[in-house]
Structure 1
Amino acid sequence: MHSFTKILARGLLAAALLGGVSSAAVAEMVFNKGNGAEPSTLDPHKMEGVPEANIAADLFEGLMTYDAKGEPSPGAAESHTVSDDGLTYTFKLRADEKWSDGTPVTAADFVFGWQRLVDPKTGSAYAYYLDPVVNAEDIRNGKKPLDALGVKAIDDRTFEVKLNAPTAYFISSLVHQSTFAVSKANVEKFGDEFIKPGNLVSNGAYMLAEAVPQGYIKLVKNPNFHDAANVKIDTVMVYPTEDIDAELQRFKAGELDMTYELPSQQIPSLRKESPDEIHITPYLGVYFYAYNLTHEPWKSSPELREALSLAVDRESLIKNVTQADQIPAYSFVPPGTQNFPTWEPEDGKLTQAERDAKAKELYAKAGYGPDKPLKLEITYNTSENHKKVAVFIAAMWNKKLGVDAKLVNQEWGTFQNTRNKKEFPDIARHGWIGDYNDAFGFLQLELGTVGEQSTSGYANPKFDELMAQAAKATDPKQRGDLMQQAEKVMIADLPVLPIYFYTTKHAVSPAVKGWVDNVQDFHLARWMSVER
């Protein structure tokens, strides 16, 4: 329990013994959680990172939400129907769906939220997310007005969506925070200040009580949530921290009930000392480096990009640095992704000695060698784990090829902007967690039309065409085969350097009940309890 929470609990207990406070107040259930970097925003339409998404999942509820096992399930919409041609989705909102101020959540709020997402004025990096919806791409590119978006409020409880083509992943994609509604009345009243404590209204299990920069975010139970009677945790204290060693110490001291991450060097000993508290499980995500293809030499030298990729000994990196059972990555879509056939690039079939020899040949072919060493920068967001990976990779490149790599770290918000704007000179640390369990959610990052979330500024018409065909395909096998072909084109071009497929790494107190490991790594507080 966090120190000031302990003090508060002692004070309440003393007061209760004196008859001044009810027993209900003493029984308040608090969940103290580590949450990684300081969230850059609490606006669901402007969020990008996992730390922000974790908070949004407790504050808001989309048409779909995550169940206790991390699977998509009905959220604000109690049901939906699909037309025979697969182009029209009709959602029926819950009759008791309310904002935290007690006003009803209406279909008009979803219309407003989705229009706000694709509005160029909003500047959302996730504006492309609604591209399957009629006219969404043209609207975000300034070619059509907002009211042309293929969404409609049939009545207060009926929300209609029209798609360009049948979209297999559409329903599962609606768990993502970019598709959440926001209260139109609330946003119009406060403008950009609507996300502040005291202003923000939300429709999830919790509402925002406090937000102290570099301190904590306090969420309290929302009495107007449609399932409030079954929500056990009263207060969620979210503690941002980029110092994962300090986070672990707070967990060991009982100040945190879970950590966002674990220091890689301590994982072997933690597994021995506290096996029941350590949760390391497969994660639907890929850790990679992105080349800036808007800059030279990366733009015009596929040989150089491949040479650096080959020279990374992923197995050694995982064994000696990350130490959390990650899987070496030579492709981009994680293994086990639904309806996507597994394949392995040729480079992944070589021994590391063979990869190193090929790397030296390609490095020389690109015009580099002892008399002309490559100089580059690796830009990463502040994290001891990211730093260790960068140090290890830079050392490998130097030893094998003579590359002179400089490491540059930035705090999370600055780093996101640097990466999105392609302002890093050479290579940026990157990672992508599936917004839903489908290969399209990964591969769309390499589309020439995706905008700021393009990892590298990559554009290949052949890749784009295969992805367009996959988006229209209704047969799961045909769709998966088309996306596999697209990934093969992309991996041959190597706009990115895949390093490993993620695992999640948490320490979780035995007091936390209802925690279920899942590949999406979503653990909504509404499904859990804390029994101290």
Structure 2
Amino acid sequence: MMSVKFNLRTALLLGTLMLIASPALAEAVLQRGNSGEPNTLDQSQTSIDIEAFIVKDLYEGLTIYDASGKIVPGTAESWKVSDDGTVYTFKLRDKANWSDGTPVTAEDFVFSYRRIEDPKTAAKYANILYPIKNADKINKGELPVDQLGVKAVDAKTLEVTLERATPFLLELLAHQTALPVNKASLEKNGADFVKPGKLVSNGAFKLLEHVPNDHLTAGKNPEYWDAASVKLDKVVFYPTEDDAAALRRFEAKEMDIVFNFSADQIARLRKSFGEQVHISPRLGTYYYAFDSRTEPFNDVRVRNALSMAIDRDFLANEIYSGAQLPAYSVVAPGIASYGEPEKPAFASMSQLDRDDKAVALMKEAGYGEGGKPLNIEIRYNTNANHERIATAVADNWKKAFGANVTLMNLDVSSHYAYLQEGGKFNVARAGWIADYADAETFLALDMSTNKTFNYGHYNNPEYDALMKQSYDERDPVARSKIMHQAEALLARDQPVTTLMNSANLWLIASKVKGWVDNAPNEHLSKYLSLAEQ
């Protein structure tokens, strides 16, 4: 009997201890490998994705991306658009508060947007808000900041007036540049407003700790309007620049998520971790531009022939080990508002058939075997992979057309400066990563009015007219159709030839729930949870 009582008392005691300890044991902490140390947590100075992943957990803009990469309401619960598409009126959520308990107001966004365009701020991405009336002029110092087209109608109503209709404004407002900053904290703390204990945020998490080059910890923000739906108690970001070390920590289950890893590890990782390896198309393209001002690259037949003869599968699979994906479209896939991009007719052909067609086209243009000699210089920015790509493409063109191909490389800043300043060339390597999930960010590159990024100086009045029409079209379905027509012209004319799409590379532990691969590469921690294991 004594033994039974003792065991019962022991069991009750142990049960009590377990109940006391259970909150700590049950704390849901997500360990995120983040590929590098953020240079800043100041919205105005961020420029890279590893910073955006953090600040978008701490702050919330008027709009956000959901788990699948679609634009949804954020701090603004709704909005109305004027008939001409130039005035947006946002209604902020009544429950939207800062982490110190004070309400988020329309004036907070007025202050934040003015701060971005103030030339004294020197914001890295001030151009993101250029569609707002007078933003460009203010940022260039031509107008005072109070002339920016943003107005607090009342505490929870924000009016944004644009220079012209901008159908992709909601995507722009989800960019980290458009995140609000807490005026009181900024004015009190100056540059230190980004430090733990001083950073006041309005997102699903608040900053608890930041040890540079070691870790950054964000805790659940109880003042967040949707705090009841947030499943994680903490998120710890680790600056995992060392790919090998990050993999070891993932293998040891010390990290639940790893962003980016070496492409040469893909086969091994897939063998070891199966579906925990996530490789999905990113909103980015790797392409070659043809200088349409110089012969023979002003001949659409030559451009098409050269494009056809490139073995994209070899480039993506053999050189990039699957870390890039073969591509044929100017617009990267995965944009919800656009759908499947347009491809050239040869995209559906086998490489052997393409080669045959390419040789015939080149002969028709008067080049290749029995015709005029084909001399090509490929320019690229210095990088081992870019050199391997250029070498492989040169080999494709030598075998198909007997072309004499030479390579020319410069450091990245010199390479792009040469192209942007209008330097002449034959073929030049370039890349583009979307800043917002809309097809316009890719299609605008080839407008004749784009003096900076239209490297090949493509000039097609029909294309320009379609793009202008797309800017004026308010109906999303009609606008998408117009842009598809424009991309079809690029597919036909091949002023640029897309070789590959960038890929998002992630390792996601099986216990992480709520993760959805998406092309915008937007993964707010508020949508994630941890399964018990």
Q: Secondary structure at the match of 1:275?
A: helix
Q: TM-score, normalised by structure 2?
A: 0.77
Q: CA deviation at 1:375?
A: 7.7
**3-state DSSP of counterpart to 1:81:** strand
One-letter amino acid of the counterpart of residue 277, structure 1: Q
Q: Compared with structure 1, are the counterparts of its residues 459 and 344 closer, same or farther at alpha carbon in structure 2 (3 Å cutoff)? A: closer
In 1, Cα distance between equivalents of 2:491 and 2:215:
41
1:319 corresponds in structure 2 to: 317
State the SS of the aligned residue for 1:469: helix
| Secondary structure, counterpart of 1:303 in structure 2 | coil
Q: Which residues in structure 2 correspond to 1:272-283 (within 5 Å)?
A: 272-281=271-280, 283=281
1:74 deviates by 1.9
* Distance in structure 2 (CA, Å) of the matches to 1:468 and 1:333: 17
Structure 1 match to 2:471: 471
- How many residues are matched? 492
How far apart, CA to CA, are the structure 2 residues paired with 1:405 and 1:215?
40
Look up the SS of the partner of 2:245 in the other structure. helix
The SS at the match of 2:55 is helix
Which whole-Å CA distance do the structure 2 matches of 1:349 and 1:217 have between them?
47
Alignment correspondent of 1:260: 259
Which string of whole-angstrom CA distances, capped at 9 and with x for unpartnered residues, describes residues 469-513 of structure 1?
321112445533543455466678878652223443322112212
Aligned to 1:403: 406
Alignment partner, residue 529 of structure 2: 529
Determine helix, strand or coil for the equivalent of 1:201: coil
Structure-2 residue corresponding to 1:501: 501
Where does 1:107-126 land on structure 2 (aligned, <5 Å)?
107-126=106-125
Question: Residue 63 of structure 1: CA displacement?
Answer: 0.9
**Counterparts of residues 70-469 of structure 1 (less than 5 Å):** 70-281=69-280, 283-289=281-287, 303=297, 312-324=310-322, 327-335=325-333, 337=335, 338-339=337-338, 342-345=341-344, 348=347, 351=351, 353=355, 369=375, 374=377, 376-379=379-382, 387=384, 389-397=385-393, 399=395, 400=398, 401-404=404-407, 430-433=431-434, 435-436=436-437, 438-444=438-444, 454=453, 462=461, 466-469=466-469
TM-aligned CA distance change 1:457 to 1:132, over 3 Å: farther
Q: 1:489 to 1:69 in 2, by over 3 A?
A: closer
Question: How far 1:111 sits from its partner (Å)?
Answer: 0.9
Bigger Rg, which one: 2
Cα pair distance change 1:405/1:461, threshold 3 Å:
closer
Q: CA deviation at 1:58?
A: 0.7
Residues of 1 paired with 2:418 and 2:254: CA distance? 39
Partners of 1:367 and 1:114 in 2: CA distance? 56
Is the CA contact (8 Å cut-off) linking 2:419 and 2:455 kept in structure 1? no
Distance 1:450 1:209, change over 3 A: farther
- Which residue type is aligned with residue 330 of structure 1? Y
Q: Counterparts of 2:144 and 2:391 in 1: how far apart (Å)? A: 52
Q: Hey, what's the Cα distance between the residues in 2 that align with 1:168 and 1:149?
A: 19
TM-superposed deviation, 1:152: 0.4
CA contact (8 A) 1:311 1:359 kept: no
CA RMSD of aligned residues (A): 4.2
**Cα displacement (A) at 1:325:** 8.6
Question: For the structure 1 residues 341 and 117, does the alpha-carbon distance in structure 2 shift closer, same or farther, using more than 3 Å as the test?
Answer: same
User: Displacement, 1:445?
Assistant: 5.0
CA distance in structure 2 between the aligned counterparts of 1:167 and 1:189, rounded to whole angstroms: 36
Report the Cα distance in structure 2 between the residues aligned to 1:470 and 1:215, rounded to whole angstroms: 47
- Checking the alignment, whether the CA contact within 8 Å between 2:218 and 2:236 is kept in structure 1 is yes
Range with greater deviation from structure 2 (230-239 or 417-426): 417-426
Contact conserved, 1:261 with 1:506, CA < 8 A, in 2? Answer: yes
Q: Is the 8 A contact 2:216 2:236 kept in 1?
A: yes
Q: 1:67 to 1:178 in 2, by over 3 A?
A: same
- 1:288 aligns to what SS in structure 2? strand
Aligned twin of 1:61: 60
Q: Distance in 1 between matches of 2:503 and 2:26?
A: 35
Aligned letter for 1:353?
Answer: D
* Structure 1 segment 4-83 matched on structure 2, within 5 A: 23-83=22-82
**What is the match of residue 520 of structure 2?**
520
Conservation of the 8 A alpha-carbon contact between 2:279 and 2:506 = yes
CA distance in 2, matches of 1:421, 1:100: 44
Gap change, CA 1:503 and 1:210, over 3 Å in 2:
same
Larger deviation, residues 395-404 vs 219-228: 395-404
CA shift, 1:179, in A, is 1.8
Gaps of 5+ in 2: 1-14, 399-403
What's the TM-score once normalised by structure 1's chain length? Answer: 0.77
**Cα offset, 1:95, TM superposition:** 2.0
Q: Is the contact made by 1:340 and 1:481 (CA closer than 8 Å) also made in structure 2?
A: no
Equivalent residue for 1:12? none
